[in-house]
Amino acid sequence: MARITRIATTCLVRDLHTPFVTALRRTTQVVSVAVLITDADGRTGHGEAPQVWRVTGESLEGIEACVRGPLSDALVGSDPGSTGTAELRSRLEGAVVGNGGARAACEMAVLDLLAQGTGQTLAGLLGGSADAVATDVTIAADGVAWTPETLAAAGFDRVKIKVGVDEADIDRVVRIHDSSPGVPLRLDANQAWDVERATAVVEGLRTAGVPLEFLEQPLPAWDIAGHAELRRRFDVPIVLDESVFTIHDLRRAIDAGAADIVNIKLAKCGGLGAGLAIGREARAAGLGVMVGSMMESELGVSAAAALAATLAPDRVHDLDAAWWSIAVDDAASPYRGGRFHLADSPGLIHAATRVLRGSHGPQVSSIDASAAFSAASVGSA
């Protein structure tokens, strides 16, 4: 790979076919920033950073400022192909505190370039070999219960139900179970409960005969002790999501006995390198690993799927985010048969082409080696 000469960003806005409702927010769009990195040979790599106010705290403006400023300073003029991916990760982590989505997008774009340069898929570059990974699909917390027919039509055989919005959680989960009795149920409260409410819901569902595969992030992110208490109270596996951004968060959770599974998301941990490190340490400690995504497009989800294919190709992950913004009749959709299918083209070329052609509202800024702004068109790169 030649040295990096230019970084550009564009805003991606994509409408969802169905509103996405959780205990944290309601949205009808994917809103994110795409990052374009160009090297001295004219090759381009792409990455994506979602705006997620209620989880990462990153905004479109903040992501673009971070990419244009400290992350550009760290990358422009460097040659990651010569220095290696460990040095790439170190440069990005040393450039800014937090801003995981912005860092992840930049690292993603550079690794896209590296994969293209060697003719590999992104998963192949990371050391994975699977060409598809299983994923659940989310049932939003808006009172809509899916039938077996609607589930089959969507092509998924595993669901994750968003809960924590109101007091009707138990009744709604029971209805979904009764309508699709053979479908394993995952619950995600997105930090909405306290220990007693979480206990009451699990006990209520147990009384109703509803088996749960796991319960994800029932308590506030800071309440590690509370999650450990829930593990002592009942045998439903606890997944930590918002509680684990970094490998240090993971270690605290392990020491406290607070988790059975960890949900790794690129915008939380800061990139694929960090995600690999967290996943490998979690597995070494006996925890399960699930790779998830924020509400982002096929570009970001493709990178997350490459991580999933490398860390845990046999698990059912949580990678349905892009499905919400893909037309139901899209014959080229990567979602088929309850799995996200990774493209066999080098890097992220396939996903970037699909996403950038289908986005709207492009507002682009760029940085070159002299740190000067100029207009650019990411979509035609």
- Give the residue numbers annotated as catalytic, written as ranges: 162, 265
172-191: pLDDT as tens digits: 899 888 887 778 899 999 99
In whole angstroms, what separates CA 83 from the centre of its chain?
Answer: 27
| Cα 289 to Cα 160, 170, 257, distances in angstroms | 16, 27, 15
Render 277-322 in DSSP notation, one character per residue. HHHHHHHHTT-EEEEB--S--HHHHHHHHHHHHHH-TTSEEB--GG
Q: Quick one: CATH architecture of 126-346?
A: Alpha-Beta Barrel (3.20)
Across the beta sheet with 137-139, the strand order is: 137-139, 159-162, 185-188, 212-216, 238-240, 261-264, 288-291
pLDDT tens-digit profile, the chain (381 residues): 789 999 999 998 888 877 777 666 677 778 899 999 999 999 999 999 999 877 888 999 999 999 999 999 999 999 988 888 888 999 999 999 999 999 999 999 999 999 999 999 999 999 998 999 999 988 877 755 566 666 677 778 888 998 987 788 899 899 888 887 778 899 999 999 999 999 999 999 999 999 999 999 999 999 999 999 999 999 999 999 999 999 999 999 999 999 999 999 999 999 999 999 999 999 999 999 999 999 999 999 999 999 999 999 999 999 999 988 887 778 889 999 899 999 999 999 999 988 887 654 444 444 443 333 233 333 322
Q: How far apart are CA 204 and CA 198, in angstroms?
A: 10
Residue with tokens 């899916």: 146
Q: HSE on the CB side for 143, CA within 13 Å?
A: 3
- How many residues does the structure list for the chain? 381
List C-alpha distances in Å: 196 to 60, 151, 199, 219, 302: 37, 32, 5, 10, 38
| C-alpha atoms less than 13 angstroms from C-alpha of 349 in its C-beta half-sphere | 14
Domain layout of the chain by residue ranges: 4-120+351-380, 126-346
Contact between residue 224 and residue 231 where contact means Cβ atoms under 8 Å apart: no
CATH 3.30.390.10 fits 4-120+351-380, yes or no: yes
The region that residue 206 occupies, defined by phi over 0 for left and psi between -120 and 50 for alpha, beta otherwise, is alpha
CB within 8 Å of 150: residues ≥ 6 apart: none
In the chain, which ranges are continuous DSSP H helix? 60-66, 72-75, 80-83, 85-95, 100-118, 122-126, 148-154, 169-179, 195-207, 224-233, 247-256, 266-269, 272-284, 298-311, 349-358
Residue found by looking up tokens 């994969």 in the block? 115
The CA R_g of the chain, rounded to the nearest whole Å, is: 20
Structure tokens at 167: 């007091």
Which of 120, 71, 132 is CA-nearest to residue 99? 71
